[in-house]
Amino acid sequence: MTEQAHRPEDLTRLFVERANAKDADGLALLYEEDAVMAYPPGGQTRGREAIRKLWAELLPHMPEFEPEPPLPTLISGDLALTSTPPSDGSGARAQVARRQPDGTWLRVLDQPEFRRPE
């Protein structure tokens, strides 16, 4: 069985592990069915299946992901805001996760990259 996120912070670790394994199906399982990811730059990918397809296209061409230490998680009820500062020092990453009925967490909104306006 595929490991699930029992804490919001687990999502980042699982994301890196699955991305490095080139596992688009496993990555998609980290998102709710109607999740939205702010990617590609300037656009949005909506829904777990569309997110899976996007990662299936991108992962074969991507370098290995490096784990990034998370910033403190903010939790309010069944919602959590997670974020990491990119290891290259540019911008930030942020995700909103929701606690599922079984107590695990899935991403609802994913902003993989914030950059300063030029």
Q: What is the pLDDT along the chain (118 residues), one digit of tens a residue?
A: 689 999 999 999 999 999 999 999 999 999 999 999 998 888 999 999 999 999 999 999 988 888 888 889 999 999 999 998 877 666 778 999 999 999 999 999 999 876 655 5
28: left (phi over 0), alpha (psi -120 to 50) or beta: alpha
| Token pair in block for residue 91 | 């911008």
Tell how far CA 36 is from the center of its chain: 10
Global pTM reads: 0.90
Rounded Cα distance, 56 and 67, in Å? 20
Report the pLDDT value the prediction gives residue 23, as an integer from 0 to 100.
97
pLDDT of the residue at 86: 75
